Amino acid sequence: MHHHVLLLEDEPNIIEAIRFILSRDGWQVSCHSDGATAVDTVTRLEPDVVVLDVMLPNRNGFDILRDLRAQRATASLPVLMLTAKGQAKDRERAEDLGVSAFMTKPFANAEVIERLRSLVGA
């Protein structure tokens, strides 16, 4: 069975790269770029895991994460946060909000797959 991953990211090249490596690894990949409707999309699509970028247009990743944790359906949904702002306080903030995993860009492709696998228990 293919695990379903929802990619919340706005940088087209990064979307393409992640979609490519995850598809090759056998994941079902969905993608969404607008921060404002991100929570709805997650609720609607019910993915197994979410890859969340911090810098999304219209709404930042931290707010989206807080909303996800606040609603029952997604309260325990595994979320991997990716950020280009490699600052320690961003990691702390994400952990306080209940993030499942945290990685900074640029990342190693293998590591992303590794993390996602462990999050969905594959």
Partner 1 sequence: MSFDIVVGVSLAYVLVLFVVAFLAERRARRGRLGWLRSPLVYTLSLSIYCTAWTFYGAVGYAVRSGLEFLTIYLGPTLLMVGWWWLLRKLVRIGRNQRITSIADMISSRYGKSATLGGLVTAIAVLGTTPYIALQLQSVTLSFGVFADTPVGWDTPDQWLVTAWVAIGLTVFTVLFGTRNLDANERHHGVVTAIAVEAVVKLVALLAVGIFVVWGIAGGIGETMARIDASPISQVPIDGSRWFTLIFLSGAAFLCLPRMFQVLVVENDDERHLSTASWAFPLYLAAINLFVLPIAVVGLDLLPPGSNPDLFVLTVPLAMNQDMLAMLVFLGGFSAATSMVIVAAIALSTMVSNHVVIPIWMGVRRGLGGTSGDVRGLVLMSRRLSIAAVLALGFLYHQVSGGGAALAVIGLISFCGVVQVLPALVGGLFWRGATRIGALAGTLCGFAVWVYCLLLPSIGADVVMSAEMLAHGPGGIAWLTPQALFGVPGLDPVVHCMLWSMLINTMVFCIGSLASFPGPLERLQGAQFVNVFEDGANPRGWNEGAVESEDLLVMAQRILGAREAQNLFLAEARAQGKGGYLPDNTPDFLERLERELAGSVGAAAAHAMVEQIMTGSSVTVRDLMAVADETAQIMEYSSQLEGKSRELERTARQLRVANDKLTALSVQKDAFLSQISHELRTPMTSIRAFSEILMSGETLSAEEQTHYSGVIHDEAQRLTRLLDALLDLSVLEDGRAQLAEQDAVLRDLIDRAILSTTSLSSNTVFEIRRDEPSEKIVLRTDVDRLSQVFINLVANARKYCDAEKPRLDIRVSRAGGELTIDFVDNGSGIPAASQQVIFEKFARLSTASAVDGAGLGLAICREIMVRLGGSVAYLPGQGGAAFRVSMPVAEAVRAA
Tell me if 92 contacts partner 1 by CB under 8 A.
no
Tell me if 10 contacts partner 1 by CB under 8 A.
yes
Chain CA centroid to CA 114, Å: 14
For residue 1, how many other CB atoms are within 10 A of its CB? Answer: 7
Closer to partner 1 by CB, 12 or 26: give it: 12
69: which residues sit within 8 A by CB, 6+ positions away? 75, 97, 98
Write out the binding residues for partner 1, residues 20-39 only, by CB under 8 A: 20-21, 24, 33
Return the bridge partners of 97, or none. none
Amino acid at 38: A
Tell me if 109 contacts partner 1 by CB under 8 A.
yes
Select from 105, 117, 120, 122 the one that contacts partner 1 (CB under 8 A).
105
Closer to partner 1 by CB, 16 or 95: give it: 16
